[in-house]
Structure 1
Amino acid sequence: MPPSASSSSNGTSTASLALPSGYRRLEALQKDQQWLLKQTKRKRTELNNFVEQMRSLATEIFKQGNPHLKNLTALDQEIHNLFEEIFRTRKFGKKAKKTIEGIYRSLQLGGIISPKFNNEAGETELDELFENQEPEPDFNFHSEEKSEPDTEERQEFSQQQVGKTKESRKIRQTFLRLAEIFHPDKVMDSENHLRHTEIMKEINRAYQDGDLARLLEIEQQHQVGESIANETEDEITRSCNRLEQENQFLKNQYENLKRELRLVKKTPEGVMVSDYRKAKREGIDPIAEMMEQMESELQGIEELRDFIRDFRDKKITIKEFITGPTAWRQTPEEMMEDVLEEMFGDLLEVIRF
């Protein structure tokens, strides 16, 4: 039975109202996507710049600090050699020898020189130190039982995996769509071939990085999206659904970038960059100050080396040796350890990075 005039009129009226509504929804989703693309690009740039500054700062500190580290390594080995020579060539009473061995061991345990327990006394006391430690209590009462995640954890994990699968599928679909358009083999003239080759490099890089935002940026930059001028209601609905899905993935990518940046800033290298930026704003050159501090403290290690050498050469007595260098007697042991930790801690973290 053919539709009545009134029903036909109502259908036309409904369609005419639906189309503008669909267009408004589509326009809103497009604006959301533009904002998400802009924010994602900004956060990605911020993260890349921060990581790059971490690397450049580490490189500069290592470059300037490497000569000091070489001097420190040479001094460290020289001090070990001096003690070995003292134990080998000097004759001491049992009590005096034990005291000198204790000084040598304390320098190692305190981090003043590198650990190298070659003598039996050092190894024996170190073994006793660990033997006297009580075993740590085991709070894992179900260590032998196979722990199973509860239902909520399994559901959450399952949802995360499904989300990742959908996002990966969307990234691949976008990549294939762009590759179909910009593959260099699709064009014949040399000018467009070169242009498509460069665009395809960007597409491949974004795909390998799993960067949906960058793929969509490329798509919009070269205006290869679908035209909506003559789309039907169903086509507009499909476009809206596609944009909603893309926007959700973009939100996830944006949140992941923010989380990654927060985590990077909390690393030792990230904290160093933040401190470096703060110092520069205050007109301070933190690297120059670090090098000056290292030079000053290396002089202290050199004085220790000279003091031990004088003892080897019998220029000072055992009593004077046990008392320690004059400058070190004026500095509490705790302060010296803090200074050394401050001096080399950041640099060693940077070198590991």
Structure 2
Amino acid sequence: MADVGTAVGTVTADPASAFLAGGTTQVDLLRIYVEQPRRLVDINDLPLRDIEELPNRGLRIGALARMNEVAEHPSVIDRSPLVSQALLLGASPQLRNMASIGGNLLQRTRCTYFRDVSTACNKRTPGTGCAAMDGVNRGHAVLGTSDQCIATHPSDLAVALVALDADVIAEGQRGRRSIPVHEFFLPPEDTPDIEHPLDHGELIVDVEVPPAPDGSTSLYLKVRDRESYEFALASVAVALRVEGGMVVEVRLALGGVATVPWRARRAERMLTGQPATTENFAAAAREELAPAVARGMNGFKIELACRTIVRALETVAPDGAR
């Protein structure tokens, strides 16, 4: 496909078709019969790989830019190190060289029951149940869950983008529109099979990333079972500005513990205007995880998430503020 309009029109016209970019997740799902589109429309020739500096010190990142291209781009490292860190921690080098930014945001859960077509999964086949509820659910979500689904969202990049209030730019038959990233990922509720607000045939074309708050220090911290490539058990994206020992502004988002990239607004409200101390960091973390629901094997994630929040905040807080 040579242009976005043609690609969008082709997929929109065929309900059984889908876009193909890096294919690092999609090919796996095809092999195990989780997804079975009748036709794949290759979009890799579309002009959507640019990384552009915006006047407000933000960035516009093309949806087909590869993860490594973005992570190692000087403008990203300078203007949005949080995005660079999340990308580098998000996959092995081989996958980062293939996976696209748009595909990363649209990747499907790694829940083993979703990927096993012989088991019940409301996300894969609505109305069949959720085998993870009483199954092996150590890696599953404790925040944003429903009685229909407890699958964890897998993207590290999305966590950083949620913390930074980025926008997803999509183009479809209705034209081009901007979707705030915190509205892009839909919690399961009663429809876990609906993961985002895109129409069939609507294509992510760009991601616009505002700058981090002036004077803030940012970090993406990821805790996992092994240091090499692995999905998060808990992760934190943080941007913190402290003046005179007081928290002036804080952005927090969590990964690995929720059904969507989780903006920690309860913790943010509790910390803003308060002394930047370990005691306050811990209290805010407990407040954020208060609604968490543990099921079977994943209860450890509540304490792990709290400790990860505290560690991330301590790391970026100025010396003496703790």
- Could you state the TM-score of these two structures normalised by the residue count of structure 2? 0.20
Give the structure with higher Rg (CA): 1
- Could you state the TM-score of these two structures normalised by the residue count of structure 1? 0.18
| Higher RCO (C-alpha 8 Å, min separation 6) | 1
Higher helix share: 1
